[in-house]
């Protein structure tokens, strides 16, 4: 059994009193790791280390080239250990090993390499003035960042926060999701091995309210909070952080609309729609869980979509052929199947799928759904999709925008004018046309409404993780 400590000042630290919590393998429902459970003492130690490293250490003072060299090395070490890290994420949260191995860990590598490249190419501005003055800008690191990452893509989403924070010269205290902490701890070890100085990247394990998460977000020496997770948790963090006016960046929940127009390439639309809702057993904030199909092709699309759904391989996540693994925890399993139990109350039909053995939920299609039902309004975060028909383009846009969320949307059409026209009307931070889950770190990422505040990626990460400073000089 693994024993996972905190990581503070580049050293493993166990909690006072050896307090722990357990990580359970969702596939076997067996405890496979014991995790140090931090408290205020450990948070104070980690934040203090990060504060000292920022105020007195070399990291913020390094050139972009110097920091980039270390981040490249970190990326190389993650890549070198890809098999170990992929297996760790699969054991922690149950996702198929093929996804961990071919998608998640390589994306972690890409995140570090991208921001290592970006900081070397990032430009400052200069503004010539009359009367013998000019102004130039500096982009200085903000300070100590609290990064709180989710459990559905453990290492990848943590690196989305850690990579830009470090690249721009900040120091970091990371709280990984309590369900999936192991790979993040390993990432911190590799960061130290790559040359990241003491105190620059720290990890404290624990839970949220009245625990590590709250201690971090209210700590007076934390300057920034970046969080990915559930919308109500984001509201709680915003309230907790408000007295000290910390910088906040939230990527929260989603209820993505997926619109299939009558002129769509049906084979392409079906394949992408399968990926959009069933990847990672639907435990994706970007999941296309609301499927809208134009009436003339509704029956044909549904038939093809149903056949493909039934063909998906549900099973052991360590099997290379598995496409759908278990849900991440017993608590989450109960939440997801609770929506299926609304069948009689809300009046929808379960066309296929439903409950499996253990913590598995089979890929599930719901018909007879309406936008006012809970299954259409709330983020289920499981392999469950509701499908409806629509008449006109105007109807599709109205249905898609009828939500409190606005993280992403998809549309499938062969009409270029329609694609541009509809994309412009959809209230979503990302709109995919004839594709899904394609991400470029130069582009903004974030959402409207209950899906968050702020944007990440490229210059948008630069805006969050730096303080622009105007320097006015007489010449």
CATH of the domain at 419: 3.40.309.10
Same domain for 147 and 237, yes or no, is: yes
Q: Does residue 131 surpass a pLDDT of 90? A: no
Same domain for 124 and 29, yes or no, is: yes
Q: Does residue 122 surpass a pLDDT of 90? A: no
Q: Rounded distance, CA 221 to CA 241, Å?
A: 11
Q: Is residue 443 part of a domain?
A: no
In the prediction, which pLDDT does 435 show? Answer: 98
Angle between helices 82-93 and 64-80 (to 10 degrees): 70
Same domain for 56 and 175, yes or no, is: yes
Per-residue pLDDT reduced to its tens digit, 348-374? 999 999 999 999 999 999 999 999 999
> How do strand 408-412 and strand 430-433 relate by DSSP bridges?
parallel
In the prediction, which pLDDT does 423 show? Answer: 98
Q: Is residue 441 part of a domain?
A: no
Same domain for 198 and 282, yes or no, is: no
Q: Does residue 265 surpass a pLDDT of 90? A: yes
Same domain for 66 and 140, yes or no, is: yes
Same domain for 272 and 247, yes or no, is: no
> How do strand 466-474 and strand 144-148 relate by DSSP bridges?
unpaired
Per-residue pLDDT reduced to its tens digit, 9-27? 999 999 988 899 999 999 9
Angle between helices 458-465 and 154-167 (to 10 degrees): 60
* Pair 430, 276: CB distance under 8 Å: no
Give the 3-state secondary structure of residue 221: coil
Q: What pTM was estimated for this model as a whole?
A: 0.96
What mean pLDDT is predicted for residues 255-262?
98
Q: How many CA atoms lie within 13 A of 269 on its CB side?
A: 27
* 401 to 270, 343, 354, 388, 394: CA distances (angstroms): 22, 24, 28, 14, 11
Q: Give ∠ CA 276-455-233 in degrees, rounded to 5.
A: 75
Q: Does residue 226 surpass a pLDDT of 90? A: yes
Residues 6 or more apart whose CB falls under 8 angstroms from that of 297 comprise 260, 262, 264, 266
Q: Is residue 63 part of a domain?
A: yes
Q: What is the total count of domains within the chain?
A: 2
238: exposed, middle or buried (Cβ count in 10 Å: 0-12, 13-18, 19+): middle
> How do strand 144-148 and strand 224-228 relate by DSSP bridges?
parallel
> How do strand 384-390 and strand 361-367 relate by DSSP bridges?
parallel
What mean pLDDT is predicted for residues 374-380?
98
Same domain for 403 and 458, yes or no, is: no
- Mean model confidence pLDDT for the chain: 96
Q: Give ∠ CA 265-445-397 in degrees, rounded to 5.
A: 45
Indicate the Cα dihedral angle 9, 152, 214, 220, nearest 10°. 50
Same domain for 83 and 161, yes or no, is: yes
Same domain for 282 and 393, yes or no, is: yes
Q: Rounded distance, CA 191 to CA 469, Å?
A: 29
Residues classed as catalytic: 251, 285
Q: Is residue 444 part of a domain?
A: no
In the prediction, which pLDDT does 94 show? Answer: 96
Q: Is residue 60 part of a domain?
A: yes
In the prediction, which pLDDT does 132 show? Answer: 87
Q: Is residue 213 part of a domain?
A: yes
Same domain for 397 and 463, yes or no, is: no
426: exposed, middle or buried (Cβ count in 10 Å: 0-12, 13-18, 19+): buried
In the prediction, which pLDDT does 413 show? Answer: 98
Same domain for 240 and 262, yes or no, is: no
Instruction: Work out whether the CA dihedral 154, 291, 354, 315 comes out positive or negative.
Output: negative
What mean pLDDT is predicted for residues 73-81?
98
**CB neighbour burial string for 251-284, b if at least 16 within 10 angstroms, e if fewer:** bbbbbbbbbbbeebebeebbebbbbbbbbbbbbb
Q: Residue 326's domain spans which residues?
A: 257-433
Q: Is residue 346 part of a domain?
A: yes
Same domain for 248 and 357, yes or no, is: no
* Pair 200, 8: CB distance under 8 Å: no
What mean pLDDT is predicted for residues 36-64?
98
In the prediction, which pLDDT does 130 show? Answer: 79
In the prediction, which pLDDT does 16 show? Answer: 87
Sheet containing strand 30-36, strands side by side? 2-4, 30-36, 20-25
Q: Give ∠ CA 119-147-230 in degrees, rounded to 5.
A: 125
Domain CATH number, residue 78: 3.40.605.10
Q: Does residue 174 surpass a pLDDT of 90? A: yes
What mean pLDDT is predicted for residues 409-434?
98
User: Measuring CA to CA, which residue among 27, 6, 5, 1 is closest to residue 314?
Assistant: 27
With residues binned 3-state (H G I as helix, E B as strand, rest as coil), the percentages for the chain, rounded to 5, are 45, 25, 35
Q: Is residue 440 part of a domain?
A: no
In the prediction, which pLDDT does 128 show? Answer: 87
């Amino acid at each position: 059994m693994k024993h996972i400590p905190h990581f503070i000042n580049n050293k493993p630290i166990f909690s006072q009193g050896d307090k722990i919590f357990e990580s359970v393998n969702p596939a076997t429902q067996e405890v496979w790791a014991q995790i140090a459970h931090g408290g205020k003492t450990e948070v104070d130690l980690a934040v203090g280390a990060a504060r000292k490293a920022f105020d007195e250490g070399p990291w913020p003072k390094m050139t972009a080239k110097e920091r980039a060299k270390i981040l490249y090395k970190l990326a190389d070490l993650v890549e070198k250990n890809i098999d170990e890290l992929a297996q760790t994420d699969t054991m922690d949260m149950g996702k198929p090993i093929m996804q961990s191995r071919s998608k998640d860990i390589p994306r972690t590598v890409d995140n570090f390499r991208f921001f290592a490249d970006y900081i070397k190419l990032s430009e400052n501005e200069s503004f010539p003035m009359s009367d013998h003055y000019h102004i130039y800008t500096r982009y200085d690191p903000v300070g100590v960042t609290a990064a709180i990452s989710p459990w559905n893509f453990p290492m990848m989403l943590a690196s989305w926060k850690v990579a830009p924070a470090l690249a721009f010269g900040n120091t970091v205290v990371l709280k990984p999701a309590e369900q999936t902490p192991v790979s993040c701890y390993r990432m911190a070890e590799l960061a130290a091995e790559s040359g990241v100085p003491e105190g620059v990247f720290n990890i404290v394990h624990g839970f949220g309210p009245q625990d590590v998460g709250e201690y971090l977000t209210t700590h007076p020496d934390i300057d920034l909070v970046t969080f990915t997770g559930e919308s109500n948790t984001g509201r709680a963090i915003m309230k907790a952080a408000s007295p000290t006016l910390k910088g906040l960046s939230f990527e929260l929940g989603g209820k993505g609309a997926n619109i299939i127009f009558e002129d769509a390439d049906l084979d392409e639309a079906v394949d992408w729609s399968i990926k959009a809702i069933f990847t990672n057993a639907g435990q994706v904030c970007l999941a296309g869980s609301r499927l809208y199909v134009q009436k003339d092709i509704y029956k044909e699309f549904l038939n093809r979509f149903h056949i493909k759904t039934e063909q998906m391989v549900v099973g052991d996540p360590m099997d290379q052929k598995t496409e759908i693994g278990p849900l991440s925890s017993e608590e989450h399993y109960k939440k997801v199947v609770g929506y299926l139990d609304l069948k009689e109350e809300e009046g929808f039909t379960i066309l296929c799928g439903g409950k499996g053995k253990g913590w598995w939920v089979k890929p599930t299609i719901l018909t007879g759904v309406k936008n006012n039902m809970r299954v259409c309004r709330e983020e289920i975060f499981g392999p469950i999709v509701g499908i409806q028909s629509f008449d006109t383009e105007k109807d599709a846009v109205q249905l898609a925008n009828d939500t409190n969320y606005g993280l992403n949307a998809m549309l499938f059409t062969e009409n270029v004018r329609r694609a541009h026209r509809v994309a412009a009307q959809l209230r979503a931070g990302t709109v995919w046309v004839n594709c899904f889950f394609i991400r470029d770190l130069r582009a903004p990422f974030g959402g409207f409404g209950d899906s968050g505040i702020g944007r990440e990626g490229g210059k948008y990460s630069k805006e969050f993780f730096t303080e622009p400073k105007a320097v006015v000089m007489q010449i």
